[in-house]
Structure 1
Amino acid sequence: MEENLSEEDIRIKESLTQKSWNEIKTNDSWAIFKIMSEFVNGYEKMGRIGPCVSIFGSARTKNDNQYYKLAEEIAFKISKAGYGVISGGGPGIMEAANKGAHLGGGASVGLNIDLPFEQHFNPYIDHDKNLQFDYFFVRKVMFVKYSQGFVVMPGGFGTLDELFEAITLIQTKKIGKFPIILVGREFWSGLLDWIKTVMIEKYFNASPEDLNLIKVVDTADEVVTIIDNFYKKYNLSPNF
């Protein structure tokens, strides 16, 4: 029976197997140092780069897709306005974001994650501004800590995870009320309708004012205007 188990079955079985104290000491406990090293390396590199604008979106988006082209335009205009760009470092929308920032002469940062598929460094990241992570939660800390705005393009579960992480931290006042900009009304309207009519109005699981944390746009110029207005409101200036 054991011989017929898939790799995923074996992983599940191993995770549910009671470990001895020696196994915990040699495996789980020592993992803390790997996690610490990712935090230290991330803080040191990102601290030198400074806060930027994060652009989230699908790794599966092809370079002839309208949202790839729009993400590239957004990143280009953001960088021309003086802002650096952070992406997830991989292909698709992430590549478009780094490409646009690169063409615009701005800082182009990639926070890559080690995955068995889809994810690899795109070629538009400055060689000293690409970071590799094994742990999603460490990577998300870097996104949040060093972002002064979140631009969210159409994406999958990873994009939704990053979006709701940002909303939750702002809603609970764990971070400042930085702009959260959803790009593509056609893509996002169904989700926002569900949040409004089901989550808020039917089940009261969020407050109506929480929707005010989110802006929905369709163009690159709208994105830049929202970010610029945010900076002017607080008398800030871009880092780059």
Structure 2
Amino acid sequence: MTDTPPRPNAAQLASPSYRLAVLDPDFLLNPSMRGVRFLLEFAKADEALRAWQVRSTIVVFGSARVREDGAGRHPFWYAEARAFGRIASERGGAFLGRSGIRDNVIATGGGPGIMEAANRGAQEAGAPSIGFNIMLPHEQEPNAYSTPELTFRFHYFAMRKMHLAMRANALVVFPGGFGTLDELFELLTLRQTGKAPVIPIVMVDEAYWRSVINLEALVEAGMIGPADLGLFRFAPDAEGAWACLMEQGLEQVSAPGSAAPKDI
């Protein structure tokens, strides 16, 4: 048996430059392609959400460290986030109506803790929910309750934040740490500067939030205006959070129309 002689153009066929661009990981992961990767991270999630006819969301933030059987207030916060996921899904329009559109679908960061609880409540209601996961040094895995087809993973925090904000009809914030504060102040800044539509922002468990943030001190120091304290409200629990959203005019039931997201 004789060896097959090499093809005269073997070097050309094996060259990285000959790869199709979309199948060339070295090319796609090059720093010069960062803008393309941004676009891909936007488009992949956007296409999936449109396929599911998700027009709007209710974003739920909170600590990944909260546990259902944890210490202190952890079981209460977990239970209320779970209850809120169910309440919002049952009452907000997450099921396909006659218009074929889903509104106020629960969206979280996709991880454990409060995020898991909110996705879990939506699943228990039989409704879809979204998990916008992020790659971290210690790999974050998606929780077991977000809808598999609506469970995403992002490399860029900026693109993940955009997807969290662009369809949001409301933001409900449970107790959390640096990440929760980051997302909360991101949305408060967008509201304050008029870069996002007017949406209700509700912070659950007033005692917790007042113990970690003194927003009145910002007013006293002239860093924000008194009216800025009206950008958010406090609620004691899941039912209270839902009532706050209703009082602030949350759009509940889908009406016929496109599934175009808000411009931010």
Interval of TM-score (by shorter of Structure 1 and Structure 2)? 0.7 to 0.9
Instruction: Name which of 107, 111, 116 aligns with 2:137.
Output: 116
Distance 1:167 1:94 in 2: 20
2:159 corresponds to which residue? 138
Deviation, 1:92, is 0.7
Deviation, 1:118, is 6.3
* Structure with more helix by fraction: 1
Distance 1:58 1:237 in 2: 27
Distance 2:252 2:170 in 1: 13
Distance 1:138 1:224 in 2: 28
1:88 aligns with 2:106: no
Contact 2:62–2:173 (CA under 8 A) maintained in structure 1: yes
Distance 1:44 1:53 in 2: 19
Alignment length (residue pairs): 210
How do 1:5-24 and structure 2 match up within 5 A?
A: none
> Which structure's CA Rg is the greater one?
2
1:201 corresponds to which residue? 220
Contact 1:46–1:146 (CA under 8 A) maintained in structure 2: no
How do 1:47-66 and structure 2 match up within 5 A?
A: 47=50, 48-64=53-69, 65-66=75-76
Deviation, 1:26, is 7.8
1:222 aligns with 2:237: no
TM-score (norm 1): 0.82
1:15 corresponds to which residue? none
Distance 1:92 1:237 in 2: 26
Distance 1:237 1:41 in 2: 27
Q: CA RMSD in A?
A: 1.9
Secondary structure of 1:85's partner?
strand
TM-score (norm 2): 0.75
Which of structure 1's runs of 4+ aligned residues deviate more than 4 A? none
Any unmatched runs of 5+ in structure 2? 1-27, 70-74, 93-103, 256-264
Distance 2:138 2:207 in 1: 28
Over the matched positions of the two proteins, sequence identity in percent amounts to 35
